[in-house]
């Protein structure tokens, strides 16, 4: 069957169309992105302003039109932190349904972490053992850990690369004082959740990073996956530490031309680097393995599981 997934995030509306059936790996058929950068369209009350809402509606209309042209057997549409946490999120969802003709399923941060862990586990396999997962979005930063397809513990923090850029790194490039403030804030948040939620977990066999921001940093600093051996890309703490001063001195308009960095990520790459390096330091991580599968693939896998009679909700819910 052909399945479409529309993911409305903080940075993009991403349409992924795959051919999938139970017992097989999903095969990508089509992918398209529309840039949003919604963190730039929030007012002082945390509501998405009219221009931002129009950008969302237009991007979803484009995605729905593409789906109609391609033809799919089913379509899943989800939204994450940008709409979830907006002061006018309910109104925005109603307007999307009215003007774009599609209803969005809003995922919680914990949903994101659980579904992403499923995708990572299926990609890496059971031999990966205990996995610690870092996932940076535009609005939130998810952390999860466990030895199964779904994590034993997960948390979502408002430390996404776009959100922290808007809240801390207003100047471009940012001054050292702003960078220090962001690092101190992130360190306090990561230290708190590690002590409260992760202190009793065993040391992970592998630490995995997902999301476009982490993949961009890995491509820039650690290099792409090896096409011959099949080894996944990695991101090392030492390399991230060495590159951070260079990224800090560049304006966003220059960062977007770096290898592996797209225009919608260039302006927030330094915030992502700071927050990720802080997380790696607090959790004592030397190396991240980069998973090519993340939230959208996890949504597809849950859907396939439901078709296969495993009883899983196609988008969210407890593991069967």
Q: Whose CA is closest to 100, among 40, 136, 56, 70?
A: 56
**Mean pLDDT value across residues 65-77:** 97
**Which has the higher per-residue pLDDT, 23 or 119?**
119
CATH number of 109-295: 3.30.420.150
131 CB-contact burial (10 Å; exposed 0-12 / middle 13-18 / buried 19+): buried
pLDDT at 217 over 80: yes
Tokens found for residue 70: 């391609």
Structure-block tokens of residue 230: 């099949």
The pLDDT assigned to 164 comes to 97
Radius of gyration for the chain, computed over Cα atoms and rounded to the nearest angstrom: 19
Q: What is the predicted pLDDT for the residue at 185?
A: 98
- pLDDT mean over 121-145: 96
Where does the pLDDT of residue 260 fall: very low under 50, low under 70, confident under 90, or very high at 90 and above?
A: confident
Query: Using one digit for the tens of pLDDT, what is the confidence trace for 289-311?
Result: 999 999 999 999 999 998 876 55
Residue 319 has what pLDDT?
A: 39
Mean pLDDT score, 82-89: 95
Cα separation, 268 vs 288, whole angstroms: 20
Length of the chain: 320
Please tell me the distance from the alpha carbon of residue 124 to that of residue 103, in angstroms, as a whole number.
Answer: 33
Percent of the chain with pLDDT over 90: 85
Tell me if 34 sits within 8 A of 12, measured CB to CB: yes
CA dihedral 232, 237, 241, 243 (to 10 degrees): -10
- How many angstroms separate the Cα of 120 from the Cα of each of 4, 144, 240? 20, 11, 22
Strands 27-35 and 12-19: antiparallel
Tokens coding 101: 């003709």
Say which residue, 209 or 230, is predicted with more confidence: 209
Q: Domain ranges for the chain, please list them.
A: 2-106, 109-295
What's the CATH code, domain 2-106? 3.30.420.40
The reply to whether 109-295 shares the fold of 2-106 is yes
Residue written as tokens 């992924």? Answer: 16
Q: What is the pLDDT of residues 25-63, one digit of tens each?
A: 999 999 999 999 899 999 999 999 999 999 999 999 999
Instruction: Find out whether 107 and 84 touch, Cβ atoms under 8 Å.
Output: yes
pLDDT tens per residue across span 194-209: 999 999 999 999 999 9
Confidence of residue 228 (pLDDT cuts 50, 70, 90): low
Annotate the chain with DSSP letters as a single string. -EEEEEEE-SSEEEEEEEE--TTS--EEEEEEEEE--GGGGB-TTSPBPHHHHHHHHHHHHHHHHHHHHH--SEEEEEE-HHHHS-TTHHHHHHHHHHHHS-PPEEPPHHHHHHHHHHHHHHHH-GGG-SEEEEEE-SS-EEEEEESSSS-SEEEEES--HHHHHHHH--SSSPPHHHHHHHHHHHHHHHHHHIIIIITTSPPPSEEEEESHHHHHHHHHHT----TTT-PPPEEEHHHHHHHHHHHHHS-HHHHTTSTT--HHHHTTHHHHHHHHHHHHHHTT-SEEEEPS--HHHHHHHHHHHHHTTS---SSSS---
Q: How confident is the model at residue 264 (pLDDT cuts 50, 70, 90)?
A: confident
């Amino acid at each position: 069957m052909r399945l479409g997934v529309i993911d409305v995030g903080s940075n993009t509306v991403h349409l992924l169309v795959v051919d999938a059936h139970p017992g097989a790996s999903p095969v990508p058929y089509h992918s398209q992105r529309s840039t949003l950068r919604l963190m730039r369209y929030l007012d002082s009350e945390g509501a998405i302003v009219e221009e931002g809402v129009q950008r969302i509606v237009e991007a979803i209309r484009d995605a729905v039109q593409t789906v109609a042209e391609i033809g799919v057997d089913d379509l899943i549409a989800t939204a994450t932190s940008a709409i979830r946490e907006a002061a006018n999120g309910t109104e925005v969802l109603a307007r999307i349904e009215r003007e774009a003709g599609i209803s969005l399923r809003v995922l919680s941060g914990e949903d994101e972490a659980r579904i992403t862990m499923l995708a990572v586990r299926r990609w890496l396999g059971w031999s990966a053992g205990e996995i610690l997962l870092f996932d940076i979005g535009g609005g939130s930063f998810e952390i999860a850990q466990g030895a199964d397809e779904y994590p034993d513990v997960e948390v979502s923090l408002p430390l996404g690369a776009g959100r922290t850029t808007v809240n801390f790194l207003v100047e471009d490039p940012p001054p050292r004082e702003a960078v220090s403030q962001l690092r101190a804030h992130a360190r306090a948040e990561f230290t708190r959740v590690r002590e409260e939620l992760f202190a009793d977990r065993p040391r992970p066999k592998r630490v995995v990073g997902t999301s476009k921001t982490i993949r961009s940093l890995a491509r820039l600093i650690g290099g792409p996956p090896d096409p011959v051996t099949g080894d996944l890309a990695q991101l090392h703490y030492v390399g991230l530490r060495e590159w951070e001063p260079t990224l800090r001195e560049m304006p966003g308009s220059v960062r977007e031309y770096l290898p592996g960095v797209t225009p919608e990520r260039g302006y927030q790459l330094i915030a992502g680097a700071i927050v990720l390096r802080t997380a790696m330091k607090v959790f004592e991580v030397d190396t991240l393995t980069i998973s090519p599968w993340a939230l959208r693939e996890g949504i597809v896998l849950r859907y396939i599981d439901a078709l296969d009679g495993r009883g899983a909700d196609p988008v969210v819910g407890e593991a069967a």
